[in-house]
Amino acid sequence: MNFISVAHAQAAAPAPSAGSTLMSLLPIIVMFVILYFVMLRPQMKKQKELRAMLAALGKGDEVVTTGGMVGKISKINDNYVTLEIAANTEVQVQRSAVTMVLPKGTIKSGV
């Protein structure tokens, strides 16, 4: 019986106000905003630039592949690029393996 009277004597916990709930979520929201501007947005911009570079590839461009191979594009289609890496030596690589387009004349005249 003593426990019942003690339980009735305790006041109900106050309900959290809307302001305190928002203030507790504010650091998480700020972290996501910072994450977006510091990591996600630059990564999306870089991917967009890479897609544009791959779409603009053309015959005669001098490129570098992900494996570090340097060559001049001799043939190109939707999925593959044929690179001339030396005189009379051609290699076929996936178009997505091209990482960089070099300025014209970078490769010596032997290719």
pLDDT tens figures, 39-78: 999 999 999 999 999 999 999 999 999 999 999 999 999 9
Q: Are residues 28 and 64 in the same domain?
A: no
pLDDT of residue 16: 60
Pair 64, 98 in one domain:
yes
Is the same domain home to 83 and 71?
yes
| Contact between 87 and 109 (Cβ < 8 Å) | no
Give whole-number Cα distances, 14 to 10, 11, 17, 110, in Å: 12, 9, 9, 82
Question: Does 71 reside within a domain?
Answer: yes
Enclosing domain of residue 90: 58-102
Mean pLDDT to the nearest integer, 79-91: 94
In a domain, 98, yes or no: yes
Same domain, 41 and 72: no
Residues 47 and 70 in one domain: no
Tokens coding 98:
């091209």
pLDDT of residue 105: 87
Strand order in the sheet with 80-86: 89-94, 80-86, 70-76, 62-65, 98-102
Assigned domain for 109 exists = no
- The pTM is what? 0.64
Total tally of structural domains belonging to the chain? 2
Q: Any bridge partners for residue 84, and if so which? A: 72, 90
